[in-house]
Amino acid sequence: MTSAHPPSAASAPAGPAPPPVPVADERLANISTAARLLRRPEIGALLAAIVVAIFFWTQNSLFFKLDGIANWTDVASTIGIPAVVVALLMIGGEFDLSAGVMTGSAGLMLGVLATEVGMSIWLAIVLTLAAATTVGFINGYMVMRTKLPSFIVTLATFFILQGVNLGVTKAITNQVTVSGIDTAAGYESANSIFGGSFWSPHDFRLSVLWWIAVTAIATWVLARTRVGNWIFGVGGDANAARNVGVPVMRVKIGLFMTTSFVCALTGIMVALRLASTQAGQGVGEEFQYIIAAVVGGCVLTGGFGSAIGAALGATIIGMAFIGIQFSGWNTDWRFLFLGVILLVAVLVNTYIRKRAEGARR
Amino acid sequence: MSATTNGAPLLEVRGVSKYFGNVVALKDISVSVGAGEVTCVLGDNGAGKSTFIKILSGVHRHDEGDLLVEGEETHFGSPREAKERGIATVFQDLATVPLMSIWRNFFLGSEPTKGSGPLKRIDVKTAQGIMRDELRKMGIDVRDPDQPVGTLSGGERQAVAIARAVYFGAKVLILDEPTSALGVKQSGVVLRYVAQARDRGLGVIFITHNPHHAYPVGDRFVILNRGRLLGDWRKREISRDELVKQMSGGAELDALEHELQRVLDTPVS
The β-bridge partners of A179 are A276
| ipTM of the prediction greater than 0.90, yes or no | no
Of B71, B64, B79, B70, nearest to B29 by C-alpha is B64
B42 close contact with A: CB closer than 8 A: no
- A220 contact residues in B (CB cutoff 8 A): 121
- A31 contact residues in B (CB cutoff 8 A): 143-144, 147
* A-to-B residue pairs, Cβ atoms closer than 8 angstroms: 156
Fold that domain B11-95+171-201+212-265 belongs to in CATH: Rossmann fold (3.40.50)
Q: What is the DSSP letter of A115?
A: I
- Per-residue pLDDT of B50-95, as tens digits, reads 888 888 888 888 898 899 999 888 888 877 788 888 888 888 766 7
Query: What is the spatial distance between Cα A127 and Cα A113, in angstroms, rounded to a whole number?
Result: 9
- Residue spans of the domains in chain B: they are 11-95+171-201+212-265
A113: closest CA of chain B, how far (Å): 33
From A1, A10, A226, residue closest to B122, measured CB to CB: A226
Name the helix (H) or strand (E) containing B65. strand B64-69
Q: Provide the percentage of residues in chain B whose pLDDT is more than 90.
A: 13
- Per-residue pLDDT of B101-149, as tens digits, reads 999 999 998 899 998 888 899 999 999 999 999 888 877 888 788 888 8
Structural domains of chain A, with CATH: 41-349 (1.10.3470)
- A24 contact residues in B (CB cutoff 8 A): 141
Omega of the bond leading into A201 within 30 degrees of 0 (cis):
yes
Q: What is the pTM of this model?
A: 0.82
- A1 contact residues in B (CB cutoff 8 A): 167-169
Q: Determine the residue among B4, B100, B107, B185 to mutate to test chain A binding: the one whose Cβ has the most chain A Cβ atoms within 10 Å.
A: B100
Q: Determine the residue among A5, A27, A229 to mutate to test chain B binding: the one whose Cβ has the most chain B Cβ atoms within 10 Å.
A: A229
Q: Is A328 left (phi over 0), alpha (psi -120 to 50) or beta?
A: left
- Per-residue pLDDT of B156-198, as tens digits, reads 888 888 888 888 888 999 988 888 777 787 788 888 888 888 8
- Per-residue pLDDT of A277-294, as tens digits, reads 999 999 999 999 999 999
- A304 contact residues in B (CB cutoff 8 A): 99
**C-beta of residue B13 within 8 angstroms of C-beta of residue B66:** yes
From B108, B139, B148, residue closest to A246, measured CB to CB: B108
